[in-house]
């Protein structure tokens, strides 16, 4: 009888939000232990209820299964804590260990969060880079900002990068690309611009950043930046990358128009101060009648440069994806490789690193291909690029859905995330805005596993017409983040999902 008076009946339910303030639980894990909290399972019975051991803890799912109250100061805990539940217990789950640590019936859940409101529509893909000091994102509208997030993808600071034409009188330029890179002096932002109206010249700059993502300044407080390129001819689709040693910058771009042929891919190499190491030279020339697009550049671990492009045939009848290696002087090495695909191939290069072999074994090529009937869009991966590798299909979505994907090299493992986008063109656009009304599901896939739907909640994500990207970054062991942009009549937002990998 005295023991019964010491016990307090406590209801059992979900442990509530598992993320930080402002995050939302997503039930993407598997249910275990024979019940759902709040639906009459054994976890709903308090101590002393009929059929329940009076020493049993409130929570009985996951790592709490079979837990009994611990003795504290000669008396049983009135409400069970980690003393009763054991070392694997967490009041709010943070681990990616394959266990239901907070005992709510969900194992390794995903967490969705809103990173920030976006000032306006954002068309081109931002870049992302994780360091020991945070997760950094380059954001281009308006101007360029460097966002510093913590590993829970909560915004800590947004720093504006001073632009040359804002500091001194001069012609306003249009930002065409920005990329966060690692150098031997630390993190840096490399970005490319064109004159207003997309007219020459095409310029590229490097801005060194400190550990917090703030642009470094000189001894008199002046802005530090290096001019990497000033191309007086036509220039489009710039791409930039640094060498593995972080001492060189490669800039590639597309030049030529139908009125001023030929279409060519150009490249140059500089050091971090902008001193030219390799003057601009032609890397590819496109055949007449095709529209080329420049996709990516990688500097491999042997210092060779790998460049990919695709050529669109007229009437959107197909794509030719081309890629080739170049030495440190940007002279061709080996044979060019090409792949014939449907229109909209969207190729991307990823280097999986030393865990996948030597510098010529680790790069992979990702592409989209439309096949049928029945028509589907496939995401394909080509490994062994320089040893006869052929496309392998990872996943596919039915037409008319469109795939916009991102990729992550995680210690030798390839991971993907994508938006499967769709619009009902018969339905009215939200608020009468023709740029709204697209919707999507967010999917992820790890190498060797099946796709997983990571969309927060049951409703599809609302998208802007140009929300055509997904950023991916490793946040912690077995924890990955995917960032994307959503848009409604109320505005646009940078959103994120954090999830566990196998």
Q: Find, among 266, 261, 382, 248, the residue nearest to 328 by Cα.
A: 248
- Complete edge-to-edge strand list for the sheet that includes strand 491-500: 24-26, 110-118, 491-500, 479-488, 471-476
pLDDT at 132: 96
Cα separation of 320 and 331, whole Å?
A: 22
Q: Decide: 94 and 438 in contact? Cβ < 8 Å.
A: no
Which one-letter DSSP state was computed for residue 429?
P
Q: Find, among 408, 411, 475, 473, the residue nearest to 445 by Cα.
A: 408
Cα separation of 74 and 149, whole Å?
A: 46
pLDDT at 122: 66
3-state secondary structure of 6: helix
pLDDT at 288: 77
The model scores a pTM over 0.75: yes
Beta carbons within 8 Å of 185's beta carbon, 6+ residues apart: 208, 246, 272
**CA 142 to mean position of chain CA atoms:** 21
Q: What is the pLDDT along the chain (502 residues), one digit of tens a residue?
A: 343 333 333 333 333 334 333 333 333 333 333 333 333 333 343 444 434 577 999 999 999 999 999 999 999 999 999 999 999 999 999 999 999 999 999 999 999 999 999 987 666 789 999 999 999 999 988 789 999 999 999 999 999 999 988 877 777 888 999 999 999 999 999 999 998 877 899 999 999 999 999 999 989 888 899 999 999 988 989 999 999 999 999 999 999 988 888 999 999 999 999 999 999 999 999 987 788 999 999 999 999 999 999 999 887 778 999 999 999 999 999 999 999 998 889 999 999 999 999 999 999 999 999 888 888 999 999 999 999 999 999 999 998 899 999 999 999 999 999 999 999 999 999 999 999 999 999 999 999 999 999 999 999 999 999 999 999 999 999 999 999 999 999 999 999 999 999 8
Cα separation of 149 and 421, whole Å?
A: 27
**CA 381 to mean position of chain CA atoms:** 17
pLDDT at 11: 35
Cα separation of 495 and 367, whole Å?
A: 25
pLDDT at 27: 36
Q: Decide: 115 and 44 in contact? Cβ < 8 Å.
A: no
**CA 161 to mean position of chain CA atoms:** 22
pLDDT at 373: 82
Cα separation of 299 and 359, whole Å?
A: 10
If residue 67 lies in a helix (H) or strand (E), which one and from where to where?
none
Cα separation of 178 and 122, whole Å?
A: 13
Q: Find, among 467, 464, 501, 498, the residue nearest to 484 by Cα.
A: 467
Q: Find, among 497, 501, 492, the residue nearest to 441 by Cα.
A: 497
């Amino acid at each position: 009888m005295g023991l019964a008076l010491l016990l307090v009946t406590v209801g059992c339910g979900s442990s509530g939000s598992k993320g930080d303030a402002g995050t939302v639980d997503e039930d993407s894990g598997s249910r275990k232990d024979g019940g759902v909290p709040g639906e009459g399972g054994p976890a709903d019975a308090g101590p002393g209820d009929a059929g329940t051991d009076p020493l049993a803890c409130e929570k009985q799912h996951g790592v709490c299964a079979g837990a009994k109250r611990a003795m504290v100061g000669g008396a049983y805990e009135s409400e069970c804590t980690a003393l009763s539940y054991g070392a694997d217990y967490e009041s709010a789950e943070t681990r990616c260990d394959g266990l239901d640590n907070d005992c709510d019936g969900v194992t390794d859940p995903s967490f969705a969060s809103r990173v920030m409101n976006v000032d306006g529509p954002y068309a081109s893909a931002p870049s992302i880079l994780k360091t020991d000091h945070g997760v950094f994102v380059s954001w281009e509208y308006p101007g360029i900002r460097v966002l510093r997030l913590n590993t829970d993808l909560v915004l800590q600071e947004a720093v504006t990068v001073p632009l040359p034409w804002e500091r001194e009188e001069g012609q306003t330029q249009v930002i065409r690309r920005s990329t966060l890179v690692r150098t031997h002096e630390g993190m840096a932002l490399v970005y490319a611009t064109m004159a207003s109206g997309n007219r020459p010249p095409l310029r590229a700059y490097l801005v060194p950043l400190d550990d917090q993502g703030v642009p470094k300044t000189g001894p008199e407080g002046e802005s530090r930046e290096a001019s990497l390129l000033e191309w007086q001819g036509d220039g489009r689709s710039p791409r930039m990358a640094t060498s593995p040693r972080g001492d060189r910058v490669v800039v590639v771009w597309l030049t030529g128009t139908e009125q001023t042929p030929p279409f060519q891919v150009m490249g140059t190499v500089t050091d971090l101060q902008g001193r030219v190491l390799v003057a601009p030279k032609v890397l590819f020339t496109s055949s007449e009648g095709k529209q080329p697009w420049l996709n990516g550049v990688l500097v491999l671990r042997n210092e060779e440069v790998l460049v990919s492009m695709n050529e669109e045939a007229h009437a959107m009848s197909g794509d030719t994806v081309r890629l080739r290696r170049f030495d440190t002087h940007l002279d061709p090495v080996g044979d060019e490789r090409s792949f014939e695909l449907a229109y909209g191939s969207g190729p991307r290069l990823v280097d999986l690193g030393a865990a996948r072999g030597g510098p010529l074994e680790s790069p992979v090529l990702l592409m989209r291909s439309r096949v049928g009937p029945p028509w589907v869009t496939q995401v394909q991966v080509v490994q062994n690029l320089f040893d006869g590798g052929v496309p392998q299909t990872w996943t596919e979505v039915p037409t008319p859905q469109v795939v916009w994907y991102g990729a992550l090299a995680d210690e030798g493992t390839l991971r993907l995330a994508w938006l499967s986008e769709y619009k009902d063109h018969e339905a009215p656009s939200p608020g009468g805005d023709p740029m709204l009304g697209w919707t999507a599901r967010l999917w992820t896939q790890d190498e060797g596993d099946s796709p997983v739907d990571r969309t927060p909640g049951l409703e599809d994500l609302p998208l802007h017409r140009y929300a055509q990207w997904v950023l991916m970054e490793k946040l912690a062991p077995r924890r990955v983040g995917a960032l994307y942009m959503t848009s409604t009549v109320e505005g646009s937002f940078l959103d994120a999902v954090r999830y566990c990998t196998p």
